[in-house]
């Protein structure tokens, strides 16, 4: 899947890019859509670390020439390992070499493994590299591990495994307007379905307008990173029930409704709290903004 394009994936990609250059051929990364689990067991789609567009962007940055999205269908799921290798790798992609992790499985009921792929490769004339999974401090980097970090709100550990801050993208939509009334106008970010949203709390984040969108940008320039304090949760002080991602962009003024934006989570500042008064909440928000500024200025160096 390459969901996350984390440091383990980056190791595979680097090896594939290097091998392709040595062979004088194009490098390709193959991913699936939808997530295989949604087809195997409908309703069990895991939280998504990256959108397809973000995956393609990251793959290009790492030197991949071709980003191949394979539709994962019930028919595709039933392909035997042998048919999978022949129809996809040989007939469609014309591979000269395949680079995978040592735990790679493929075909119906994940019956194929790296050893079988090598055997098939000998028959059809392609090489296979099965790389040892990247790990540090007894932790093997995987999308499952990173999802657990994000779910726990440990965005620092997630960033360490990803090689960059965890990102949530979305379109800015209208909220209840309460933040503006309190002196903290926020961009209410509506992410795509299945997005991996960090645990409830307040975070120091980078905020970027990706565009294009329908809103007015004010002093915000598309593509540039801005400092932000971001609240994730239901706003318990006002007995909220809907879980939201609300970004307060520091030092800037803009009408961001309709804009496609990215929020990169750098550090969790505190958990979500219910305050006894609006005044106490506003005081906390001031502290959050200043703490976010300190964290991000330090991260920016």
pLDDT tens digits for 120-130? Answer: 999 999 999 99
- Evaluate whether 2 touches 60 at the Cβ level (below 8 Å): no
- Evaluate whether 186 touches 248 at the Cβ level (below 8 Å): yes
Could you tell me the two tokens for 64? 């991949």
Q: Can you give the pLDDT at residue 102?
A: 96
Superfamily of domain 166-300: Riboflavin kinase-like (2.40.30.30)
Pairing outcome for strands 28-33 and 166-173 = unpaired
Delimit the CATH 2.40.30.30 region(s) of the chain.
166-300
CATH T-level assignment (fold) for domain 7-131: Rossmann fold (3.40.50)
Pairing outcome for strands 244-249 and 187-190 = antiparallel
The position carrying tokens 């809907």 is 242
Delimit the CATH 3.40.50.620 region(s) of the chain.
7-131
Reported confidence tier of residue 229, pLDDT bands at 50, 70, 90: very high
Phi, psi angle pair for 209, to nearest 5°: -85, 120
Q: Determine the average pLDDT of the residues in 217-245.
A: 87
The closest alpha carbon to 210, from 248, 151, 167, belongs to 167
The position carrying tokens 């926020």 is 186
**What global pTM score does this model have?**
0.93
């Amino acid at each position: 899947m390459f969901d996350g394009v984390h440091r383990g994936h980056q190791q595979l990609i680097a090896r594939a890019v290097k091998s392709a250059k040595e062979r004088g051929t194009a490098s390709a990364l193959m991913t699936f859509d939808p997530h295989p689990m949604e087809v195997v067991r409908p309703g069990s789609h895991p939280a998504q670390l990256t959108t397809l567009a973000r995956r393609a962007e990251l793959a290009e940055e790492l030197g991949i020439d071709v980003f191949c999205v394979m539709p994962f269908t019930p028919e595709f799921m039933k392909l035997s390992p042998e048919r999978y290798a022949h129809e996809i790798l040989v007939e469609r992609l014309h591979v000269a070499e395949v680079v995978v992790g040592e735990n790679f499985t493929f075909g119906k009921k994940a019956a194929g493994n790296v050893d079988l792929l090598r055997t098939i490769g000998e028959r059809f004339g392609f090489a296979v590299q099965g790389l040892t999974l990247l790990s540090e401090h007894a932790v093997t980097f995987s999308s499952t591990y990173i999802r657990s970090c994000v779910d726990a709100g440990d965005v620092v550990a997630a960033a360490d495994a990803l090689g960059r801050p965890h990102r949530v993208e979305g379109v800015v939509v209208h909220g209840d307007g309460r933040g503006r009334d309190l002196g903290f106008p926020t961009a209410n970010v509506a992410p795509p379905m299945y997005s991996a949203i960090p645990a409830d709390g307040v975070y120091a984040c980078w905020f970027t307008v990706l565009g294009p969108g329908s809103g007015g940008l004010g002093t915000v320039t598309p593509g540039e990173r801005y400092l932000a304090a971001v609240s994730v949760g239901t706003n318990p002080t006002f007995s909220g029930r809907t879980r939201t991602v609300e970004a307060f962009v520091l030092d800037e003024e803009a009408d961001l409704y309709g804009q496609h934006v990215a929020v990169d989570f750098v550090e969790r500042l505190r958990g979500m709290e219910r305050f006894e008064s609006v005044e106490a909440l506003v005081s906390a928000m001031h502290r959050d903004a200043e703490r976010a500024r300190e964290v991000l200025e330090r991260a920016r160096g």
